[in-house]
A and B are shown apart, each in its own frame.
Chain A
Amino acid sequence: MKLNPFKKKAKEPKVEFTKKWEPFVFLLPFAIGVTIFTIYPLFNVILMAFKENFVLLTGKYTSLGFANFEYVMKDRYFIQGMQNTFKYVLVVIPISTCISIVIATLLNNKIKFMPFFQTAYFLPMVTSATAVGLAWKYMFHYQYGVINYLLGLIGIDPIAWLTDVSSNFTALCVYGIWNMLPFTIVLLLSGLQNIDKLYYTAARVDGASSLRIFFRITVPLLLPTIFLTMVVNSISAFKVFHELFPLWSGQPGIAYNLFTVVYYIFYQFRGLTPPKYGRAAASAVILFVVIFIFTRIQIWIQKRFDH
């Protein structure tokens, strides 16, 4: 909505505040960057996806068509990447959201040591995922990792988290959930702080228990924020990729079993010789379509609940 108090008063003289050229001067530095590094590559990648046998440095290609898409859709690594990525989203998002709802609700109480709790819960937001990933790699170690030690205390046999195909995915999810919690808690906490305190007061006067208040007031009123957080997190979880580098030294799992969509893109244009740019572009376009759908859902939620 545009607020223009002068518009209604007809007597007010229309003043030209801005010279015609001025906006463009202000926009120029920004426009250069966006054009070269966002708009141009967007169209370029889409076009590249249709070029067959495209060579990046010479710009030559044999023909235009859907061959790259056909190849990618049939490639077992791409199919594996899609499966892993969807599985990852379906595991990581619900678990991290549930944990975050509990932690955010508890942090929303009047409690002491708030700076300590904030530091503990939010520090991972600012630290390099690569560096912390190395710490996780050490914690996941089969022989002397602290995780297997703790599991041993409750009688669970050591698990080869990073070196066994069957446990790779679990390790990735554990690390992914840990990574996702801080951001999710922050968003939910600010959603909680927007809930009118009157609801709680009224419920207490009526003698409702804390648990009842949580399920009957907090969760329903927080629902738009929960949905929104889940969609935003799904978009970032769909791009799961960086996490593989510290844990498996740049390989997608111990036996090429943890391809993700973005890792597949990367693999096509950096992992292969000669690089397959057309296939990388085709898989990037597919990624874009999926993210586009998620984003539409996000916008729909935001509009629906007037966020």
Chain B
Amino acid sequence: MRTKNFIKYSLIYIILGIGAVFMIFPFFWMIMGGFKTAQEISAFPPLLFPSHFNLDNFKFALDTAPFAKYFVNSVVVTVSSVTLSTMTTILAAFAFSRLEFKGRDALFTLLLALMMVPFEMIVITNYRTIINMGLLNTRVALIIPFTSSIFYTYILRNFFVSIPESFYRSAKIDGCSNWQYLWKVMVPMARPSLVTIILLNSISAWNSFFWPMLVTNTSSARTLPFGLYTFMTEGGARNEYMMAAATIVVLPMMILFLFARKYIVTGVSKGGLKG
């Protein structure tokens, strides 16, 4: 029995180990590539490690393309759009779960139906809306389409519904206003759900590529993923620079993942990732 168990677990570890190497290898290869010299990166057979860990490629990437600017833009866009959409989400989720008004559930069902509208479809009109508003090539253009999210409102509303209504009734009888109840009772209780929403939203905002590609023609408003792409198409295709730049783009999310792994994994399993 014991040897059987030993064989079983060895097999599990071997298969999982091979799979893990397969999954993590592109990251390893990217980071190592960022440190390699021009000769090392095109060596065949490929070198697993560079001979020296010098930062020349990273310096070159930061000097040729405005990655510092892209980074600031990414932070500004992510923080603003996540803050704004979290606010509208909290308010709307509260209205859809606790406040009573005519046609509430019908309206909510209608919104859920809107969730299946692919972003790739409505992007055509949104592009024109941004032009008409005179917002092309601004960071505002990257923020305002994402200030209201039906998807996150749906997740938060489901959590709000699960908070017993008796809390609400007793708070109301004690003279608590809806506004106070929302911020003093509901929001603190919903903290885990809110953290999940904020994390998932930040990840998709940070990695967003399609929309920035449409509305930012100049480097002034570009965020990191699209900035990286233009670095590739405009600056030639030297792999060692490319890998260094890609590492710069990926690193913040890697660090976030290491710290918030459990939240992200349970969040994704409950709600899924959008876009």
Contacts and interface: CB of A to CB of B under 8 A. Distances in A.
Interface of A: 3-6, 15, 17-18, 20, 22-24, 26-27, 29-34, 36-42, 44-45, 48, 56-57, 99, 102-103, 106-107, 109, 111, 115-132, 134-136, 138-139, 141, 143-146, 149, 178, 181-183, 186-187, 189-190, 210, 232, 239, 241-242, 245-246, 249-250, 262, 265-266, 269-270, 277, 280-281, 284-285, 287-288, 291-292, 295
Given A15-B173, A144-B44, A131 B23 contact: no
Contact of A126 (B30, B94, B121, B264): B264
Contact of A48 (B13, B20, B22, B125): B125
Given A5-B165, A45-B124, A38 B256 contact: no
B26 A139 contact: yes
A275 B29 CA distance: 39
B155 interface: no
Q: Chain A: interface secondary structure?
A: helix
Best-surrounded residue of A29, A106, A107, A130 (most CB of chain B within 10 A): A130
B44 A291 contact: no
Contacts of A270: 214
Contact of B26 (A103, A116, A132, A280): A132
B225 A128 contact: yes
Interface stretch (B52-60, B95-103, B188-196): B95-103
Given A30-B88, A119-B257, A6 B169 contact: yes
B209 A123 contact: no
A135 B169 contact: no
B207 A129 contact: yes
Given A131-B249, A210-B8, A262-B120, A34 B42 contact: no
A277 B167 CA distance: 52
Nearest to A135: B30
Contact of B125 (A30, A45, A99, A287): A45
Nearest to B150: A34
Contacts of B134: none
B147 to A, nearest CB: 4
Interface in B68-92: 85, 87-89, 91-92
Given A18-B101, A134-B232, A117 B26 contact: no
Contacts of A48: 124-125
Contacts of B26: 132, 135-136, 139, 178
Contacts of B100: 17-18, 23
Contacts of A120: 19-21, 23-24
B120 A131 contact: no
Given A138-B239, A186-B268, A30 B30 contact: no
Nearest to A18: B99
Contact of A245 (B45, B85, B229, B253): B229
B46 to A, nearest CB: 5
27 contacts: A15-B172, A15-B173, A18-B100, A26-B91, A30-B148, A37-B122, A37-B126, A40-B129, A41-B124, A99-B19, A103-B19, A119-B261, A120-B19, A122-B265, A125-B268, A127-B207, A130-B207, A131-B247, A132-B246, A134-B242, A138-B41, A138-B243, A187-B268, A246-B232, A249-B237, A250-B229, A265-B120
B237 to A, nearest CB: 8
Nearest to A290: B118
Interface of B: 8-9, 12-13, 15-16, 19-27, 29-30, 33, 41-46, 85, 87-89, 91-92, 94-95, 99-101, 104, 111, 114, 116-118, 120-129, 131, 144-145, 147-148, 150, 153, 165-166, 168-169, 172-173, 178, 203, 206-207, 209-210, 213-214, 224-226, 228-229, 232-233, 237, 239, 242-243, 246-247, 249-250, 253-254, 256-258, 261, 264-265, 268-270, 272-273
Contacts of A102: 15
A123 B44 contact: no
A103 B16 contact: yes
B196 to A, nearest CB: 13
Contacts of B45: 149
B12 A138 contact: no
A242 B119 CA distance: 13
Nearest to A122: B265
Contact of B128 (A27, A56, A128): A56
B155 to A, nearest CB: 14
B124 A30 contact: no
Contacts of B46: 144-146, 149
A42 B114 contact: yes
Given A45-B122, A103-B16, A128-B249, A38 B239 contact: no
A32 B118 contact: no
A97 to B, nearest CB: 15
A124 B166 contact: no
A125 B99 contact: no
A40 B256 CA distance: 36
